[in-house]
């Protein structure tokens, strides 16, 4: 019995995606700023590499072009409203940290800020830049990770249930649902 | 009051990520195969571009190098066990479609197969290739999307709740949880 399929033109249907606050600037000549992005993903393990797509019209684009670094801050479900705001309002006109009650901290290895209230922040140095059309892809090496200490479990790992990370799919924000198992479980069961 | 942070070396902590079955081959000289990947994401909107990271040791790497196309098939939470299997077993030795009770269908625009049982499949032509270290990044333009017709709602959109897509975070599979709202909601409320 075959399953009926509908064929659409190509579009951005891959889901879910992460949703991150991209931190840029140096807090001196270029103000610290955050922008929401969902066009992001891990692309390689060793060295750890992430990619983000940024429209050239964005303030974040100017900031990354100038300083060649950014942070990816993973927000919680409780921060969904602030995350949405930071995707709509431009940092050219507004200090989004202060309007959203978020705190910019200097990262450990780069000049860009991390968001103190986000449970996990990745500090990234740009290694590649590729013009893809509407968005420029920046590929960054993750040079450090900052985690809220109270969310680290007794095995030294981020407790994801406590972190309550946000996901993005087809225009909506979601919390993560049921944990369905860990990688390699059918093999391990044998 | 400051939040205590723990600083780790750089690692692949970005979460959640999508988890997809990457379909490759032409069903003739190169067998149709699927491999699970979580290092994947949308990278640009127009044209729609996705990226996947593939280790050169993988059969999927040989297949993409030879044919320059792939599909990304988004599985459901109910398919988590098959998804995990397809990330552990190599298509060099095994027809994963038949062992997992999955059906390969020829895509509409490329020679690679879609997975009939997955609610959404993206047909992708490789446009860029970048060696990032452990993984090679393939950036593909999404040239068509196939959706299981029974999951399309009366507005012509994929009904995500019915689709029950799978997410991946820190070695575990998750279903999507509560829908927290759609993009732009604080602005729209004004």
- Each residue of A104-125: pLDDT tens digit? 999 999 999 999 999 999 999 9
Looking at beta carbons, which residues of chain A come within 8 Å of B187? 85, 88
Q: Please judge whether B158 and A147 are an interchain contact, meaning their C-beta atoms are less than 8 angstroms apart.
A: no
Please give the residue of chain B at the shortest CA–CA distance from A131.
B44
Q: What pLDDT score was predicted for residue B154?
A: 92
Question: Per residue in A73-104, pLDDT tens?
Answer: 999 999 999 999 999 899 998 999 999 999 99
Q: What pLDDT score was predicted for residue A184?
A: 74
- Give the three-class secondary structure for A79: helix
Q: Please judge whether A41 and B46 are an interchain contact, meaning their C-beta atoms are less than 8 angstroms apart.
A: no
Q: Please judge whether A13 and B145 are an interchain contact, meaning their C-beta atoms are less than 8 angstroms apart.
A: yes
Count of pairs with CB atoms under 8 A, one residue in A, one in B: 343
Neighbouring C-alpha atoms within 13 Å toward the C-beta of A65: 12
- Give the three-class secondary structure for B1: coil
- CA end-to-end distance (rounded Å), chain A: 32
Q: What pLDDT score was predicted for residue B184?
A: 74
Phi and psi dihedrals of A11, rounded to 5? -160, 175
Residue A49, min C-alpha distance to chain B (Å)? 7
Interface test with A, best of B41, B58, B118, B164 (most A CBs within 10 A): B41
Question: Per residue in A147-187, pLDDT tens?
Answer: 999 999 999 999 988 999 999 999 999 999 999 988 775 55
Whether the Cβ atoms of residue B96 and residue B33 lie closer than 8 Å to each other: yes
> Average model confidence (pLDDT) for chain A?
94
Whether the Cβ atoms of residue B117 and residue B103 lie closer than 8 Å to each other: yes
Residue A138, pLDDT > 50, answer: yes
Q: Please judge whether B44 and A132 are an interchain contact, meaning their C-beta atoms are less than 8 angstroms apart.
A: yes
Categorize the per-residue pLDDT at A190 as very low, low, confident or very high, splitting at 50, 70 and 90: very low
Of residues A14, A88, A120, nearest to B50 (C-beta): A14
Whether the full predicted model's pTM is greater than 0.90, yes or no, is yes
Q: What pLDDT score was predicted for residue A187?
A: 55
In this prediction, the answer to ipTM > 0.90 reads yes
CB atoms closer than 10 angstroms to residue B157: 12
The C-alpha angle with vertex B7 and arms to B1 and B11, in degrees rounded to 5, equals 135
Take residue A186 and report the two structure tokens written for it: 């059918």
Percent above pLDDT 90 for chain A: 89
Q: Please judge whether A38 and B43 are an interchain contact, meaning their C-beta atoms are less than 8 angstroms apart.
A: no
Q: Helix, strand, coil shares of chain B as percentages rounded to 5?
A: 20, 45, 35
Ordered per-residue pLDDT tens for chain B, 190 residues: 699 999 999 999 999 999 999 999 999 999 999 999 999 999 999 999 999 999 999 999 999 999 999 999 999 999 999 999 999 899 998 999 999 999 999 999 999 999 999 999 999 999 999 999 999 999 999 999 999 999 999 999 999 889 999 999 999 999 999 999 887 755 554 4
Residue A78, min C-alpha distance to chain B (Å)? 9
CA pair distance A22, A161, nearest whole angstrom: 23
Interface test with A, best of B18, B42, B123 (most A CBs within 10 A): B42
Percent above pLDDT 70 for chain A: 96
Of residues B45, B50, B84, nearest to A134 (C-beta): B45
Looking at beta carbons, which residues of chain B come within 8 Å of A171? 182-183
Please give the residue of chain B at the shortest CA–CA distance from A71.
B14
Take residue B186 and report the two structure tokens written for it: 């604080």
Take residue A108 and report the two structure tokens written for it: 């450990």
Give residues with Cβ within 8 angstroms of A168, minimum separation 6.
A15, A16, A17, A18, A19, A38, A174
The C-alpha angle with vertex A112 and arms to A106 and A117, in degrees rounded to 5, equals 55
Q: What is the mean pLDDT of residues A35-39?
A: 97
Of B123, B185, B161, the C-alpha closest to A14 is: B123
A95 or A190, which is more confident: A95
Q: Please judge whether B39 and A45 are an interchain contact, meaning their C-beta atoms are less than 8 angstroms apart.
A: yes
CA pair distance A54, A169, nearest whole angstrom: 18
Interface test with B, best of A159, A167, A181 (most B CBs within 10 A): A167
Q: Please judge whether A51 and B51 are an interchain contact, meaning their C-beta atoms are less than 8 angstroms apart.
A: yes
DSSP labels for B101-170? T--EEE-SSSSSEEETTSSEEEEEEEEEEEE-SSSEEEEEEEEEEEEEGGGB-TTSSB-HHHH-BEEEET
Q: Please judge whether B149 and A180 are an interchain contact, meaning their C-beta atoms are less than 8 angstroms apart.
A: no
Q: Please judge whether B139 and A147 are an interchain contact, meaning their C-beta atoms are less than 8 angstroms apart.
A: no
């Amino acid at each position: 019995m075959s399953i009926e399929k509908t064929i659409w033109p190509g579009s951005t249907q891959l889901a879910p995606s992460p949703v991150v606050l991209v931190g840029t600037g140096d807090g001196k000549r270029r103000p610290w700023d955050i922008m929401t992005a969902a066009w992001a993903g891990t692309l390689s393990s060793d060295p750890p590499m992430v990619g983000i797509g940024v429209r050239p019209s964005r303030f974040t684009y100017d900031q990354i072009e100038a300083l060649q670094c950014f942070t990816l801050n993973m927000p919680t479900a409780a921060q969904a409203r602030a995350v949405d705001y930071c995707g709509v309002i431009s940092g050219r006109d507004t200090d989004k940290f202060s309007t959203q009650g978020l705190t910019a901290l200097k990262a450990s290895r780069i000049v860009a800020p991390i968001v103190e209230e986000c449970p996990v922040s990745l500090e990234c140095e740009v290694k590649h830049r590729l013009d893809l059309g509407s968005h420029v892809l920046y590929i960054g090496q993750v040079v450090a990770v900052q985690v809220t200490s109270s969310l680290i479990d007794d095995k030294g790992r981020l407790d994801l249930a406590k972190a309550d990370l946000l996901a993005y799919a087809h225009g909506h924000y979601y919390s993560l649902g049921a944990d369905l198992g860990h990688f390699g479980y059918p093999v391990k069961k044998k």
